[in-house]
Structure 1
Amino acid sequence: MPTKRSSSSTVDTHDETKPKAAERIRRTARELFYREGIRAIGVEEIVSRAGVTKPSLYRSYASKDDLAAEYLRDYEMAFWSVFEAGAEAHPGDARAQLMFYIERLAQRATQASYRGCGLTNAVVEYPGDDHPARKVAQTHKRKLRARLAEMSAAMGAKEPEVLADGLLLLLEGTYASGQLFGRQGPARSLVAVAEQLINASLR
């Protein structure tokens, strides 16, 4: 009986600590990948910063590529939470919902710590279509383009797909230029440009 209790206790302890280690790895990777880029960060730095061992990482993720893909799935969930926040603030008003996001993006993109969109950055880092991280990013961007088309149609745009493409180009430009110019960059004009683009596209 004592032997059985000891074995059970060991298993329980392992099961309790494993999720904690996995969460530390996930949180650390998210911070480092966003700030420094996925390629620039190695497994050694992640486990060191997270305070875990390499075996702990590989118990949860088969490879760094899988961890990078998981980081982007987490990033995408956070993105949609922010992007769709306007729906609660402005129910039934697609234009106000979109501008709710754009106004907040303009604020974030002029901050010194801004590193753009993690999903866009991943596409730049991994040009090959077969990388797990790029696949997550590509799928997300297609969803965003489709969502913008839905919102453009709801606004009454003459050509919803054209407006959606214009808005997507505007957003992607902001993600990139925010990192280049900071507070005095083009992102400070994002709201005004978006309004003009939408106004010009309405019936």
Structure 2
Amino acid sequence: MTVSPGRPGRVATLPPRERILDAAEELFQREGIQRVGVQAIADRAGTTKMAIYRHFETKDALVAEWLRILAAEYQAAFDRVEADYPGRPREQILGLARFIADGLPSISYRGCPFINSLAELPDRAHPARRVIEEHKAHQASRLLGMCSEAGLRDPEQATAAITFVLEGAQVSTQNGSIEQAGDRLLEIVEAILAQYG
């Protein structure tokens, strides 16, 4: 997103669509998708419900677009580690683990938006749920490519193990069950790379 919640004055300077998305992000993260109505988003964005429906056909479409933007931010992390470590897939994998580890403090407060959204959207046909499933599949595919390029023995199993650790670290941080989750995450990913190396 272009504006961090809680920075007064910035939201009002954005174009209407971005104001709506920023307001939705803040409210969905803080209160959950189901508890936030379109009127609350309109109030936070300084606009009207009618204006929201001019940009987004339904609330579900707004939720899906918010998650598409978040997914793009995660995919940008893949792009960054590939650019930072060209031709060095092991370092790329560790870079992804560091990206997740660095983001854990904010997850401890709000939780992972993808995990939270899945819990709130049991209907597998929901457009936002499809966005999450496609994002996770794309993420796994890119990680598999890195594991294959790294020459890991059984790259599919290595991808599964790393994915379980990345996802598990986020859930464990959210529920407070593991201390120093970021450090432990990095140690475990390094161990997986050694195990399958």
Shorter-chain TM-score range: 0.7 to 0.9
**Which residue does 2:46 correspond to in 1?**
51
Deviations 1:102-144 (A, max 9, x none): 1232122135764343223222221221111101000111111
Percent identity, aligned pairs only, is 34
* Aligned mate of 1:31, from 26, 29, 53: 26
In structure 1, the gaps of 5 or more residues are 1-18
Distance in 2, Cα, partners of 1:123 & 1:169: 17
Distance in 1, Cα, partners of 2:145 & 2:28: 31
* Aligned mate of 2:158, from 157, 163, 168: 163
**Which residue does 1:87 correspond to in 2?**
82
Deviations 1:144-172 (A, max 9, x none): 11111111111111101111111111111
1:69-88 equivalences in 2 (<5 Å): 69-88=64-83
Distance in 1, Cα, partners of 2:174 & 2:146: 27
Partner amino acid, structure 2, of 1:126: L
Matched, 1:145 2:140: yes
Matched, 1:131 2:126: yes
**Which residue does 2:171 correspond to in 1?**
176
Q: Tell me, yes or no, if the aligned pair for 1:112 and 1:182 is still in contact at 8 Å.
A: no
Partner amino acid, structure 2, of 1:23: E
Aligned-pair distance for 1:194? 0.5
Distance in 1, Cα, partners of 2:136 & 2:33: 18
Q: Tell me, yes or no, if the aligned pair for 2:77 and 2:99 is still in contact at 8 Å.
A: no
**Which residue does 1:191 correspond to in 2?**
186
**Which residue does 2:100 correspond to in 1?**
105
TM-score by length of 2: 0.86
Deviations 1:60-101 (A, max 9, x none): 111110000000111111111123311121111111012112
Return the index of the structure with the highest Cα Rg. 1
Q: Tell me, yes or no, if the aligned pair for 1:111 and 1:182 is still in contact at 8 Å.
A: no
Distance in 2, Cα, partners of 1:116 & 1:154: 32
Q: Tell me, yes or no, if the aligned pair for 1:178 and 1:186 is still in contact at 8 Å.
A: yes
Q: Tell me, yes or no, if the aligned pair for 1:110 and 1:183 is still in contact at 8 Å.
A: no
How many correspondences in the alignment? 184
What do you get for the CA RMSD once the two structures are aligned? 1.9
Aligned-pair distance for 1:185? 4.4
Find the residue that maps to 2:188 and give its secondary structure: helix
In structure 2, the gaps of 5 or more residues are 1-13
Q: Tell me, yes or no, if the aligned pair for 2:112 and 2:174 is still in contact at 8 Å.
A: no
